[in-house]
Amino acid sequence: MTETLTNAVHRFVVRNKPLVGDPHADEILRLAESAGLGPSLVRTARVYLVEGPVDSHEAQRLRTELLVDPVSETEDADAVPVAIEVHPLPGVMDPAAQSLERAVADLLSLDVRVSTGRRYEFRGITEDDARRLVESRLANAVVHRVHTDAFHPDRLPRGGEAGFELRTVEIRSLSADRLDALSRDAHLFLDTAEMLAIQSEYQTLDRDPTDIELETLAQTWSEHCVHKTLKSTIRYEPSAPLADDVIDWTARPGHELHADGSVTIHNLLRSTVAAATHELIDEGVDWTLSVFVDNAGIVKLTDEQAVCVKVETHNHPSAIEPYGGAATGIGGCIRDIIGTGLAAKPIANTDVFCVATQDTEDVPEGCLNPKQVLSEVVAGVRDYGNRMGIPTLSGAVWFDDRHIGNPLVFAGCVGLIPAHLTHGDARPGDLIVALGGRTGRDGIHGATFSSAELTETHADEFSHAVQIGNAIEEKRVLDAILRARDVPGGPLFSAITDCGAGGFSSAVGEMGEHVGAEVHLDRAPLKYAGLTYTEIWISEAQERMVLAVPPERLDELRAICDEEHAELAVLGEFGREGDHGPELILNFRDQEVGRLPMQFLHDGIPTPTRQAAWTPTAGHGSTTAEVLERGTRSEHKTAEALLKLLAHPNIASKHRIIRQYDHEVQGRTVLKPLVGPGGRGPGDAAVIEPIPGSGVGLAIGCGLATGLEDDPYLMALAAIDECVRNLVCVGADPGRIAILDNFCWPSCKKPGNLGSLVRAAEGCYDAAKAYRTPFVSGKDSLNNQFTTKDGTTIEIPPTLLITGIGRVSTLDACTTMDAKAAGNTLIVVGPEPTSLRGSHYQRLFGTHDAPAPSKPSDRVDIAAGPRTARVVAELIAGGHVRAAHDVSDGGLLVAVAEMLLAGSSTAAPLGLSLDTLDPIAAFAESPSRYVLEVADLARVAELLGDTPHRVLGEINTSGTLAVGSDGPAVEDLSVEDLATAWLGNVLA
């Protein structure tokens, strides 16, 4: 009898065998218990829905050869009282399904469609309780559909062909109010001046724009893409006379001081961050190769090889769908590295998360639970990096309840590139080649959405802005591009960029700025039918790169892509001139749908003068201000304060996150994030060997000083100082450190918020010049706030992340922070602190400090900080330092405790006795201080000379930390007790 084949949907349910265990179920059980539920059983399973002409024999082969590992898994669908399933919504990227479709084609030569899901099974709780648990912690309505039965559709959803109609948008006759309404309703997020500029252009052209032209302008002019606030002219008005300020306004480029005490700043970015870099280059910093002109900054590592670095933010997408937002954040940053110069190889990832505290119970409508946000952004970065084979080596987590509706997700990547391939340009006649993933509706309006403010309706209104990445697809693209770069005779392409914010719109628009381009949108491969020409153009679907390819090299490139299973499509050609210079011409189904002058697209955005104001409050450094007092002042014994600080979520160990990442893939890692004999010490920075066998290292670290948010000028100085210290502590040369800025601010439409941004940028200028650390790249995100249903706006704290890479001349210089041996001496090097301002001690217990100093050098000694860094680096390079650790979050005593717990083991405990310390000496977080372990104290003291330093004590084998005898003392506080506090369950 012949079996009749139909395109039926076959359902397979696969779970781990009982003896193997089910870690995911164990995690859900803990979630249920924390929610007050007590299920007697939790099980999970994976669901595969396969649609196609699969007969019973082929179905069995699917089970045994693809879906079920006979050693550890079983296809078991036992009945249970309660079962909840989670499946992706139609159109949502399903990477596992894509991989299975390819595998079925290879194994059975069948063309099938696949969708995957998760099944959660419970005993001992009701279906309603199970559904609420799944919906609140395990699913996201933006991308998932929850089913209370076994989901088995007759067919999988598919798109249908869309009709083609060229649409124009009436704009020439609209009033300013109606232009504003159009901008908001169409998700353009352009302001009145920008809409009026577009209106004027089309009045000159004597026509209205097509929809795709208007969308192209919106993407290109978005805050996310063009950084228009940082590049604008700003009128800064301080409430106090400039003479009383901590900033020296008289010696700054691009600044005009006025008689009324205000300052006009022409292009804030160019006159602060970029100015510092270009001045340093003019002064002899000759190891930067490319700054502010490419997807990433590039610096020289050796004469033959260079490294590039980029850090992006993916905040708003992560607020809606944390897993997808973080995954595509790191995926996009990896593509920035691939698209730098003529293609770099990603060799390390970084991540920093700023989220609400994990025990937050009052979660506003429209926000996700903070525990879900953190666990999923970690998983997104973890899965993408691990699957691509890129180690995640550096990062941090900062907790603040003001991130309840707007988490910050910083994703970074470092790459290696031949020094002679650091620049590329599209040439007239080059083909526009799209390489990688197919285009879908994911990420529509992603760039403009990232430039907007979040509200309680954002998950509904902008679900289309969410993207789900596929790391395996990007790995194929990477392999193909690196092969095409390294062919004999030189790269097969003359320029490359990633298809990120704005999709093809931004990628082709940027590459063709000086030569023009013509694009045929119907040639783009699609995930499914039904996309309009505008959706194809602005989609931010992931894993896509755009290359400028000489026609004679196309066949070679296609052959490589075929071998690497990376899809290639020719979309058009670079090189189109019109009456007004280079033009962007867009076609769909043999009809022109858009034509824009490149000059207007890139230079037509108006730059009105923006108003910034600054009113110092307590702690801003005015001559009469007192340091901001938080909390209620109370007396706390040193032991009690130390244990509470070590357990504070900002300070406590992040090992539950760190150990989810692969640190050693690619075999380049020299120092991992956790160090010491037991791997429990918080390393200051990571070190890799980018060129295996060369002996030259690269240190990767960061600095974050949000505690000093009351004056972002001081916050910027402290963040750069911390980044430098972290790198120096592991052996980096402070004369070869490059840094990046990431400004994340609440809405700068408020003059006060813009004023604080100005102060942070001014701090970046001063610190970069002082430390001689050029900025090589950066990114800003300036609308980070959340408005609740009742109209309350929750602004994030102004946040500046500084990421740094530093050259380690020889790997023999690498140093870790774990205490090494009894008999050695601990010393603290750097200026003595005078205040608890901005410290975690102040957050927990409150303080009464003396009046704040009026000069920045009293708070962050701009001369002493770099000088101390150089001296410490020389000590490390000379082999005089056994361990080095910077004094940062928690202060000196926390730094000492971390060194002891990192170096101690049950077999070899270490301890220390200290003299009495007052709270400022023990817990201040003032910059520019290091704790060093040295064996030859006399020689080190001689080398330090007049650099401020103080002996803390000699390391012993007591296994305890004791502080003084004539005041509040730590008596026999075990180092293991310190470790227990630090290793607490804060991230569970």
Q: What positions carry a catalytic annotation?
A: 224, 314
The distance from CA 711 to its chain's CA centroid, rounded to whole angstroms, is: 24
Give the SS3 label for residue 300: strand
- Residue 702 has, within 13 A of its CA and on its CB side, a CA count of 29
Give the SS3 label for residue 925: coil
The distance from CA 921 to its chain's CA centroid, rounded to whole angstroms, is: 34
How far is it, in rounded angstroms, from Cα 117 to Cα 109?
24
Whether residue 378 contacts residue 386, with contact meaning beta carbons closer than 8 Å, is answered with: no
Q: Which helix (H) or strand (E) holds 399?
A: strand 392-399
Backbone phi and psi for residue 234, each to the nearest 5 degrees, phi listed first: -125, 135
Closest by CA position to 323, among listed 116, 470, 145, 502: 470
Neighbours of 592 (CB within 10 A): 12
Segments in 626-750 forming alpha helices (H): 638-647, 655-658, 712-729
- Residue 187 has, within 13 A of its CA and on its CB side, a CA count of 18
Neighbours of 938 (CB within 10 A): 9
Give the alpha-carbon dihedral of 727, 728, 730, 735, to 10 degrees: 80
Question: Between helices 751-771 and 712-729, what is the axis angle to 10°?
Answer: 40
Q: What's the farthest any 2 CA atoms get from each other in the chain? A: 98
E strand intervals along 218-338? 234-238, 255-257, 263-265, 288-290, 297-300, 305-313
Whether residue 953 contacts residue 827, with contact meaning beta carbons closer than 8 Å, is answered with: no
Q: What one-character DSSP code corresponds to residue 654?
A: -
Residue 237 burial class via C-beta count within 10 angstroms: exposed 0-12, middle 13-18, buried 19 and up: middle
DSSP letter string, 770-816:
HHT--EEEEEEE---EEE-TTS-EEEPPPEEEEEEEEEES-GGG---
How far is it, in rounded angstroms, from Cα 41 to Cα 26?
10
Q: 218 to each of 175, 213, 442, 600, 746, how far by Cα in Å?
A: 19, 9, 18, 12, 21
How far is it, in rounded angstroms, from Cα 647 to Cα 659?
19
How far is it, in rounded angstroms, from Cα 547 to Cα 481?
10
Give the SS3 label for residue 962: strand
Residue type, 310: K
How far is it, in rounded angstroms, from Cα 778 to Cα 716?
14
How far is it, in rounded angstroms, from Cα 704 to Cα 339?
28
How far is it, in rounded angstroms, from Cα 907 to Cα 323?
41
Written as six digits, the tokens of 437 are 């993933």
Whether residue 49 contacts residue 5, with contact meaning beta carbons closer than 8 Å, is answered with: no
How far is it, in rounded angstroms, from Cα 780 to Cα 782?
6
Written as six digits, the tokens of 594 are 């858009």
Closest by CA position to 793, among listed 322, 370, 404, 318: 404
Q: 195 to each of 375, 505, 783, 887, how far by Cα in Å?
A: 40, 19, 19, 50
Closest by CA position to 269, among listed 610, 719, 501: 610
How far is it, in rounded angstroms, from Cα 768 to Cα 272?
10
Whether residue 844 contacts residue 648, with contact meaning beta carbons closer than 8 Å, is answered with: yes
